[in-house]
Amino acid sequence: MCGIAGSGKTTFSKKLESEGFLRLSIDEEVWSTYGGYGVDYPTEKYREYLDESHKKIRNKLLKLIQEKRKIVLDSSFWSRSERDEYKQVIEENDGKWKLIYLKVDADELQQKTGNQR
C-alpha cells in the first residue's frame, strides 16, 4: 500500500485481510510496542521507534513469505528508497509484490478528515 495519511490504506488493507491476506501495519506495530505518539513516548523518539518497528515488520514479512502466505503491508511508503528496500527483500526471498497507490484529491481528503483550509 502506498499513499498519504487518510488516503484509505488501512481501510483497503482490512478489506484484503477479510479476503485472506495477513495485514502487517507499521502504525499498529509502533502503537502496540511504544504507545501513542507524543502521549506514551516523546515525539523525538518517533523515528527511532519507527525504524525498530520496520525491522520487526520485515522479520514477520520474511517468515510469512517463507510460509507462502498472502500479505498486505499497511504503510505509507512515501519514500522510494523504502519501497525499493521492501521490494528487494521480497524478491530476494522468492516473493512477489504489487504496489497499490491510493491517490486522493486534496478536497476529498479535507472532507474525509474534517479539516478546513
CA–centroid distance for 1 within its chain: 7
Phi, psi of 101 (to 5 degrees): -100, 120
Is residue 72 within 8 Å of residue 81, measured between CB atoms? no
Q: For the chain, which residues make up each domain, given as ranges? A: 9-113
Mean pLDDT of 4-31: 93
The whole model's pTM is what?
A: 0.82
For 32-55, how does the pLDDT look when each residue is reduced to its tens digit (9 = 90+)?
Answer: 999 999 899 999 999 999 999 999
CA–centroid distance for 2 within its chain: 8
- Secondary structure E strands in the chain: 22-25, 71-74
- Secondary structure E strands in 1-108: 22-25, 71-74
Q: Quote the pLDDT of residue 117.
A: 44
For 91-107, how does the pLDDT look when each residue is reduced to its tens digit (9 = 90+)?
Answer: 999 999 999 998 887 67
Q: State the chain's mean pLDDT as an integer.
A: 90
